[in-house]
């Protein structure tokens, strides 16, 4: 099948390479010329396990990237996977999806029936009220001359390829029966073991927001419990151990720490808050979820100050820049507010991440270490901001850690290794 994907970011490119590996002819469209060139040369524009390998195999063969929408002609299904970032006020910015729809409308003028699938995360009713009217500028009628589905994406950065191959559920919101059936057939043929949920367009849009809001709530919940536990000398991870066997609770997404980041949870919760307010609702719980999350990095500073006094002039190593392990993505990483606050406190900051690069705004104000050893050798205080497995190597660096304290914002060590001084953010 010839499949078009608009937006070759984490979602679009991960999905595109998986579909190419299943033998489809995939056309990726992106406005970023450098990204397109990289993809066509078989190189991933960002770090994602397994992506390089798939790209090397399929780029230039049955996977091609382009900046021109004309390449979408003759596609049977076109997925829209462009970004939906936050606006200044926290509401969702739909301009990239609208722009993609404007350009697609030009292509629709010259094509036969094609199914257009919105994969980007968009607030409920966006597809009906915003995107379909733009697509119909083509002179064609949605539900008759072209199909429309809303199919939210649930993959996770760091495991994107595997997540797409083994989707825990596929949600298909459809404008009409024909569109829904076409997408369902496509998924059944390619991913036969994934359960499919069929709903209407706005329900599909809401399922994505409700899922992310729930995950974010779990994290802020356990962080709040952890903050209370810390005062009582209780290990919150042991508390979770005792909770997780209750099938109504489960153990996933209850890792207390410095808070959630990434390209989805913070922006989607904020967008849902704004959207709810526009509808005249006051989403108190969701607001608290964000508030708790924003305070966690400060807690890691407070804990250190309580233990070692003022941080002015002290050398502090921040281990980890990425918002989580397995990715180079810095979007909404908790490392950034942590570093900013450390600099405000007058600390000298040394950062190390095995994959992620320093964001431009920190250039010149922090020192970059080339290895874990270099970072901790130079510092007197160590703070862990990302859950990289690699940081367990600290256990083997006792000689450079003598007299130093490690403050964990992420749980790296379940048992404190003998000879290391470690204190957790909420354990
Ligand atoms: P991204 O920023 O990594 O990629 C978006 C791409 O779209 C960029 O390469 C950009 O250049 C391109 N683009 C923007 N406007 C375009 C246009 N008009 N035409 C062609 N290309 C255009 O974004 P992402 O992380 O892949 O997320 C895409 C969507 O999927 C968002 O709505 C996001 O919320 C959602 N989502 C993301 C994840 C994730 O883990 N990253 C998971 C699930 C859902």
- Our answer on whether the CB atom of 283 is closer than 6 Å to any ligand 1 atom is no
Please tell me the distance between residue 96's alpha carbon and the centre of ligand 1 in angstroms: 9
Counting atoms of ligand 1 from 1, which one is nearest the CA of 14? 26
Could you state, in order of their start, the residue ranges of all structural domains in the chain? 2-199, 236-424
**DSSP label at residue 106:** H
- Our answer on whether the CB atom of 10 is closer than 6 Å to any ligand 1 atom is yes
Q: What is the pLDDT of residue 139?
A: 98
Counting atoms of ligand 1 from 1, which one is nearest the CA of 268? 34
Among 263, 330, 331, the mutation site with the greatest number of ligand 1 atoms within 8 A of its Cβ is 263
Q: In a 10 Å sphere around its CB, with 0-12 CB exposed, 13-18 middle and 19+ buried, how is residue 10 labelled? A: buried
Q: What is the pLDDT of residue 267?
A: 97
- Our answer on whether the CB atom of 157 is closer than 6 Å to any ligand 1 atom is yes
Nearest CA owner, ligand 1 atom 30: 120
- Largest Cα separation within the chain, whole Å, is 72
Q: Strand pairing partners for 86? A: 92
Please tell me the distance between residue 249's alpha carbon and the centre of ligand 1 in angstroms: 32
Q: What is the pLDDT of residue 241?
A: 97
Please tell me the distance between residue 221's alpha carbon and the centre of ligand 1 in angstroms: 29
Q: What is the pLDDT of residue 394?
A: 97
Phi and psi at 381, nearest 5°, equal -125, 140
Please tell me the distance between residue 86's alpha carbon and the centre of ligand 1 in angstroms: 12
Structure tokens at 245: 């066997």
Among 80, 81, 208, 216, the mutation site with the greatest number of ligand 1 atoms within 8 A of its Cβ is 81
Beta strand 2-6 pairing with 77-80: parallel
Is residue 264 flagged as an active site residue?
Answer: yes
Q: What is the pLDDT of residue 148?
A: 98
Give the list of residues 6+ apart from residue 6 with CB closer than 8 angstroms, or none.
12, 29, 30, 69, 72, 78, 79, 80, 81, 82, 100, 104
Q: What is the pLDDT of residue 220?
A: 98
Strands (E), 115-244: 115-118, 147-150, 170-174, 196-200
pTM listed for this prediction: 0.95
User: What per-residue string of b and e applies to 54-81 under the rule 16 or more CB within 10 Å gives b?
Assistant: bbeebbeebbbbbeebebbeebbbbbbb
Structure tokens at 263: 């390209």
Residues 211 and 153: their CA atoms lie apart, in Å, by 11
- Our answer on whether the CB atom of 234 is closer than 6 Å to any ligand 1 atom is no
Residues 289 and 271: their CA atoms lie apart, in Å, by 13
Residues 348 and 370: their CA atoms lie apart, in Å, by 17
Nearest CA owner, ligand 1 atom 23: 83
- Our answer on whether the CB atom of 12 is closer than 6 Å to any ligand 1 atom is yes
**DSSP label at residue 385:** -
3-class secondary structure, 384? strand
Please tell me the distance between residue 120's alpha carbon and the centre of ligand 1 in angstroms: 7
Dihedral class, residue 280 (left if φ above 0, else alpha if ψ from -120 to 50, else beta):
left
Radius of gyration over every alpha carbon of the chain, rounded to an integer in angstroms: 23
Q: Report DSSP letters for 290-353, one per residue.
A: HHHHHHHHHHHHHHHHHHH---TT-EEEEE--SSSTT----TT-THHHHHHHHHHTT-EEEEE-
Please tell me the distance between residue 2's alpha carbon and the centre of ligand 1 in angstroms: 21
CATH topology of domain 2-199: Rossmann fold (3.40.50)
- Our answer on whether the CB atom of 101 is closer than 6 Å to any ligand 1 atom is no
Just give the CATH number of 236-424: 3.40.50.720
Helix axes 284-308, 335-344, angle to 10 degrees: 50
Q: What is the pLDDT of residue 291?
A: 98
Give the list of residues 6+ apart from residue 417 with CB closer than 8 angstroms, or none.
394, 395
Catalytic hit among 75, 81, 101, 264: 264
- Our answer on whether the CB atom of 270 is closer than 6 Å to any ligand 1 atom is no
Structure tokens at 237: 């991870």
What would the 3-class secondary structure string for 63-103 be?
EEEECCHHHHCCCCEEEECCCCCECCCCCECCHHHHHHHHH
Mean pLDDT in each 10-residue stretch from start to end of the chain (427 residues)?
A: 97 98 98 98 93 96 98 97 97 98 97 97 98 98 98 95 96 98 98 97 98 98 98 97 97 97 96 98 98 97 96 98 94 96 97 95 95 96 97 95 96 93 96
């Amino acid at each position: 099948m010839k499949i078009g994907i608009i937006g070759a970011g984490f979602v679009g490119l991960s999905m595109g390479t998986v579909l190419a590996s299943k033998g489809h002819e995939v056309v990726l469209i992106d406005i970023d010329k450098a990204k397109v060139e990289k993809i066509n040369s078989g190189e991933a524009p960002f770090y994602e396990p397994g992506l390089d390998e798939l790209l090397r195999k399929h780029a230039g063969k049955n996977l091609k990237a382009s900046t021109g929408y004309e390449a979408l002609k003759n596609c049977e299904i076109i997925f829209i996977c462009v970004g939906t970032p936050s606006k200044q006020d926290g509401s969702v910015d739909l301009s990239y999806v609208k722009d993609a729809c404007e350009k697609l409308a030009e292509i629709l003028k010259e094509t036969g029936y094609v199914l257009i699938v919105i994969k980007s995360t968009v607030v409920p009713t966006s597809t009906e009220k915003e995107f379909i009217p733009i697509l119909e500028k083509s002179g064609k009628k949605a539900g008759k001359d072209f199909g429309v589905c809303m199919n939210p994406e649930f993959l996770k950065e760091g495991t994107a390829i595997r997540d797409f191959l083994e989707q825990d559920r596929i949600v298909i919101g459809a404008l009409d029966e024909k569109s829904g059936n076409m997408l369902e057939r496509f998924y059944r043929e390619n991913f036969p073991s994934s359960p499919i949920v069929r709903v209407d367009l706005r329900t599909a849009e809401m399922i994505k927001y409700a899922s992310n809001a729930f995950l974010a709530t779990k994290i802020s919940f356990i962080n709040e419990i952890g903050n209370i536990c810390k005062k009582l000398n209780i290990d919150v991870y042991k508390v979770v151990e005792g909770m997780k066997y209750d099938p109504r609770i489960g153990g996933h997404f209850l890792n207390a720490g410095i808070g959630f980041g990434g390209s989805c949870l913070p922006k989607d919760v904020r967008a849902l808050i704004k959207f709810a307010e526009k509808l005249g609702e006051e989403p108190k719980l969701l607001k608290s979820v964000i508030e708790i999350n924003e305070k966690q990095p400060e807690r890691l500073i407070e804990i250190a100050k309580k233990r070692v006094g003022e941080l002015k002039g002290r050398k502090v190593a921040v281990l980890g820049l990425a918002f989580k392990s397995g990715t180079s993505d810095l979007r909404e990483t908790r490392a950034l507010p942590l570093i900013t606050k450390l600099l405000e406190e007058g600390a000298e900051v040394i950062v190390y991440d095995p994959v992620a690069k320093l964001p431009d705004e920190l250039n010149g104000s922090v020192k970059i270490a080339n290895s874990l050893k270099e970072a901790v050798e130079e510092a007197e205080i160590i703070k862990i901001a990302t859950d990289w497995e690699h940081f367990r190597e600290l256990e083997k660096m006792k000689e450079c850690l003598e007299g130093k304290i490690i403050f964990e914002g992420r749980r790296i060590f379940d048992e404190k290794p003998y000879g290391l001084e470690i204190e957790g953010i909420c354990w």
